[in-house]
């Protein structure tokens, strides 16, 4: 595993997602290295839930995640920027109309 011993396969990187309790989504908590999925789950339990932080864990190989690009100027999110009519506050309703 050391760089001086020549190239050996590193354990791949996994991203870890934990459901804190029932009723909540899984949330990304960090990453770890493991040889396979089962080891990744066991390590994730030992590393990220030592104090009842979770009731369910997902692990996924980091290189299996597709992500949007990092560029702030990327037009990827542009379509949502100019559609104010998608928000309830866009619409003027008289104050005396109840429950709306």
Partner 1 sequence: MTKTDSASSAAGSTDPRLDGHDEQDLEQHFDATIARDQRIEPRDWMPDGYRKTLIRQIAQHAHSEIIGMQPEGEWITRAPSLRRKAILFAKVQDEAGHGLYLYSAAETLGADRADLTQRLIEGRQKYSSIFNYPTLSFADVGVIGWFVDGAAICNQVPLCRSSYGPYARAMVRICKEESFHQRQGYELLMTMMRGTDAQREMVQDAVDRWWWPSLMMFGPPDDASPNSAQSMAWKIKRHSNDELRRRFVDMTVPQAEKLGVTLPDPELRWNAERGHHDFGTPDWSELQRVIKGDGPCNAQRMERRRSAHEEGAWVREAASAYAAKQSRRAREGAA
Residue ranges that bind partner 1, judged by CB under 8 A: 1-5, 8-11, 13, 15, 28, 30-33, 35-36, 39, 46-47, 50-51, 62-63, 65-67, 69-73
Eight-state DSSP code of residue 26:
E
- From CA 21, how far away is CA 38, in angstroms rounded? 22
Tokens 């692990």 appear where?
A: 59
What minimum distance in Å lies between the beta carbon of 42 and partner 1?
11
Q: Are 35 and 54 in contact (CB under 8 A)?
A: no
What minimum distance in Å lies between the beta carbon of 97 and partner 1?
38
Cβ nearer to partner 1, comparing 2 with 80: 2
């Amino acid at each position: 595993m050391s760089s001086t011993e020549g190239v050996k396969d590193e354990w791949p990187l996994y991203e870890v997602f934990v459901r804190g309790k029932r009723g909540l989504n899984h949330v990304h908590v960090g990453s770890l290295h493991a040889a396979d999925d089962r080891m990744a789950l066991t390590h994730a339990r030992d590393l990220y839930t030592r104090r009842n932080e979770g009731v369910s864990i997902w692990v996924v190989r980091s290189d299996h995640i597709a992500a949007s690009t990092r560029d702030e100027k990327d037009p990827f999110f542009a379509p949502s920027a100019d559609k104010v009519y998608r928000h309830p506050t866009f619409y003027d309703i008289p104050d005396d109309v109840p429950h709306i």
